[in-house]
Amino acid sequence: MSSTEQGTSSAAPAEPTTAPESAAAPEVPESFYYVHGKDKVVHKVSAGALQHSALIHGMISNLGYTEEQAKANPFPFENIDGDILQMVVDWCNQHKGKPTPPEDTNLPKQKEKLFDLVLAVNYLEIKELLTYCCKQVAMMVKGKSPEEIREIWMIPTDAEDEAAEKEAKKRAGKEAAGETAAAAGDAK
Amino acid sequence: MFDFLEFLEFLVFFGVSIFIGQFLKKQIFLEKSLLAGPKMASWNQLSVETKQEVIQYLDLMSRNAMKSVSRLDREIVNSVDFYVPRVRLSSSKPEGSTAKSGYTESNYLIHIYTGIEKFLRVEIVTEKNGVMVYRMENTYNRSEGVSKAIPTIDSFPLAIKILKSLFTHPSITLGALEFELDDLPVPQQQSNAGYIIRYLDGEMFRTKTLITNYCTNPEFDMMIFHNILDLDVIEEIRNDGIRWDTEWLHPKKMSDFTLPSNAETEGPLAEAQKLVHVPSYESHIWLADNRAHQFDALAERARQRGGFATIRFHNDELWVQQKHPIEQINEYVQVKRIAVPPCPYVIRWNKSKCGYWTHMTTLEYEEKCLDYFKNEKCGLRYLCKNCTDPFQYWFYQQLPRRFIHEPKWAKNGLNSEYTEEEKQEILQKMTEQLAKDEKKNKKKENGEKKKAVKSWGFRKSLYPKPAPKFIPGVDFDDIESLVKQRKAFKVNMDFKTFKVNKTSWIHESEIPSYAMDVSEPCEEYTKALLDALDGLILRRNSIEN
């Protein structure tokens, strides 16, 4: 389980790694860390690029995750698809040590990818990229009617929600009743 | 014995454990949500905070559309603040109407400025059996927008209800709310204000500025101020007017009167000022360079009205001509002060890197305003490109074009000395000037128009419907059937019998509490009110139902 690996590796005592300056001076070698997503493909990312992610940056700087430990145990993000993680890594590399522009036209236009990206970026706590993604998501429904928004963002209506809730309650009730009956049968 | 190092170690361990705990919790939550939801990521999987961030980037109409998507989404939209720079309600009497026609026959315009060169227009035009609603985005041309017929409803309540539905939620803040209503007698204005209050039904606008023009009287302003505005948000009241001219199509100068909120003076503006806690301004915007230098007249009016008069954006010649010592009153502003007793006025010539302006007031009043003068960094207000908000600057630069783009609606022109023919001539020249200006920017505008996506409710349908037609309205002659359907009331008012459409009625007994809270009711008022509300007042004891 990725979370266990994460816990073990992060608990290991080590000297705190200070994050290098984003525009690294040539004489100071840049540190690199490794991440992988659901597809287990490992991506090598510089510490400067990873500074965009508050989550990873926090892990590196607070838990003292050294480069050697990182190489042996890449940060596992099992909940992020490989192609989405690749996008995030690319974005972080592109914007390493640069001021972020007000618009980013390289974000995916397909809604499925975009929502996956939002989830991943939100999880990795990359504030600037989350802002771009949110703007892009908002643009998807510009000029659209409520029905169209529902369709684009796959939002159920209140009636559908209520029906699903009722159905879930019914199912839960039946399951509970079944368990009670089974327990009573066992007792007999 | 207390071991500090051990304690420190414990603290570090404790901190690390919490961090790991939170990380695991977050990951488990995310994995659970991914397992629980559909395979494809969608809106419902986003956290509330992320949804709020997305909502923050929606435009006004998309926000409104989102409110209708689901209850949860409506709550999320309502939890995100939204700012609209300016909203205007204008009225226009149809041709041939009389003063007695009142507001019910008027046409109304709701003009919503959503940003620089971005606006939405809702025109509500009274027709025989109801109203036509025209909606346009970034254009004044009705044929480029959409239209809809709404039977058996009056234009005024509809306009107010639209404003109420769009802008009274606590999450919405307006930069300015402007009323550009017809020049009506005071009682009719008061009754109009009463109706606005009535239709808003206790809802309030959160606006930073209330703007009216010379057509409205202080009583109207005060009723609006005290009854429909959130007094914690309002920062100022302004009364704007424009002097037309053919010289320029943008403001060249501005002369105005200012009454700080602590004013203790007399005069019509001051009367209103006593009732409010924010400063009032009365501005005349000039489109010509050579006609605004009426220093004596302005100074005299400042003396009569209290407060101080100011001419903003005059040229440097006037500054140079004043042979008086220069005083640096703060880091930004130099002043030449002229006070020559027994003349009761003080003239303060100001200069900063932004431009020149002059304050005129009385000796007595200067002392009261000294702090204000000393702290002023730029006195050019919204005519200064460097110091004012970009929207405000853009808005006032294009304000004179209102007479060209929407001559039927614009009422803040102050050229009462011109005849109708002269006004038409000026308008013609302004139109020619505008055509020249627009020719220069044509390419740019076309490019932008192609890119823009129209807002919800303002775009033409992909499946065009037949031209809007009025469905047969309510037959008011068949009163019995209407009463049965509860669509109308038969009202006996003195000698006449009125048949009243239910959608717009207001009870006579409700009027005093709304409409008479500033002026004492008098015979004239009641008569004018009855004229204004002809057919709309229900008398409690005579409703036949």
Residue B84 has pLDDT above 90, yes or no: yes
Who wins on pLDDT, A118 or B93? A118
Go through chain B and tell me how many residues it has.
545
- Residue B102: per-residue pLDDT: 56
ipTM over 0.90: no
Decide if B40 and A112 are in contact by the 8 Å CB cutoff.
yes
Q: Is A142 near chain B, with CB under 8 Å?
A: yes
Which helix (H) or strand (E) segment is B365 a member of? Answer: helix B363-375
Give yes or no for a contact between B190 and B518, defined as CB atoms under 8 angstroms apart. yes
pLDDT of B246-270, one tens digit each? 777 788 888 888 876 655 544 445 5
Residue B521 has pLDDT above 80, yes or no: no
Give yes or no for a contact between A152 and A144, defined as CB atoms under 8 angstroms apart. yes
**Partner-chain residue, chosen from A62, A122, A131, that has the shortest CB–CB distance to B19:** A62
Give yes or no for a contact between A14 and A53, defined as CB atoms under 8 angstroms apart. no
Residue B137 has pLDDT above 80, yes or no: yes
When scoring A115, A126, A147 by the number of chain B Cβ atoms within 10 A, the one with the most, hence best to mutate, is A115
Please report, for chain B, the start and end positions of each structural domain, with discontinuous segments joined by +. 84-95+104-234, 237-442
Residue B350 has pLDDT above 90, yes or no: yes
CA distance, residue A95 to nearest chain B CA (Å): 22
Q: Is B30 near chain A, with CB under 8 Å?
A: yes
Its pTM stands at: 0.74
Chain B, window 466-485: residues with a beta carbon less than 8 angstroms from a chain A beta carbon: none
pLDDT of A138-149, one tens digit each? 999 988 888 889
User: Mean pLDDT across chain B, nearest whole number?
Assistant: 74
Highest mean pLDDT among A32-41, A172-181, B328-337, B519-528: B328-337
Helices H / strands E in chain A, number of each: 9, 3
Q: Is A145 near chain B, with CB under 8 Å?
A: yes
Other beta carbons within 10 angstroms of residue A108's beta carbon come to 16
Average pLDDT estimate for B347-354: 92
Who wins on pLDDT, A185 or B346? B346
CA distance, residue B406 to nearest chain A CA (Å): 25
Residue B34 has pLDDT above 50, yes or no: no
Other beta carbons within 10 angstroms of residue B430's beta carbon come to 21
Task: Find out if CATH 3.30.70.260 is the number for domain A2-155.
Answer: no
Average pLDDT estimate for B503-529: 38
Beta strands in B380-531 (DSSP E): 488-493, 496-501, 506-507
Percentage of chain A lying above the pLDDT 70 cut: 79
With beta carbons under 8 A apart, name residues in chain B contacting A131: 53
Residue B465 has pLDDT above 60, yes or no: no
According to DSSP, the residues that pair with B327 across neighbouring strands are: B335
Q: What is the DSSP string of B261-298?
A: TT----SHHHHHHTT-SS-EEEEEEES-SSS---HHHH
Give yes or no for a contact between B250 and B397, defined as CB atoms under 8 angstroms apart. yes
Highest mean pLDDT among A137-151, B95-109, B300-314: A137-151
Query: Which of the residue ranges A37-51, A77-91, B112-126, B518-532 would you say has the lowest mean pLDDT?
Result: B518-532
Who wins on pLDDT, A62 or B488? A62
Task: Please calculate the CA angle B185-B188-B194 and round it to the nearest 5 degrees.
Answer: 145
Give yes or no for a contact between A71 and A1, defined as CB atoms under 8 angstroms apart. no
Query: Position of tokens 């109308």?
Result: B488
Confidence band for B37, pLDDT divided at 50, 70 and 90: very low
Q: In whole angstroms, what separates CA B140 from the centre of its chain?
A: 18
Return contacts of B442-449, CB within 8 angstroms, 24+ apart. Answer: B448/B117, B449/B138
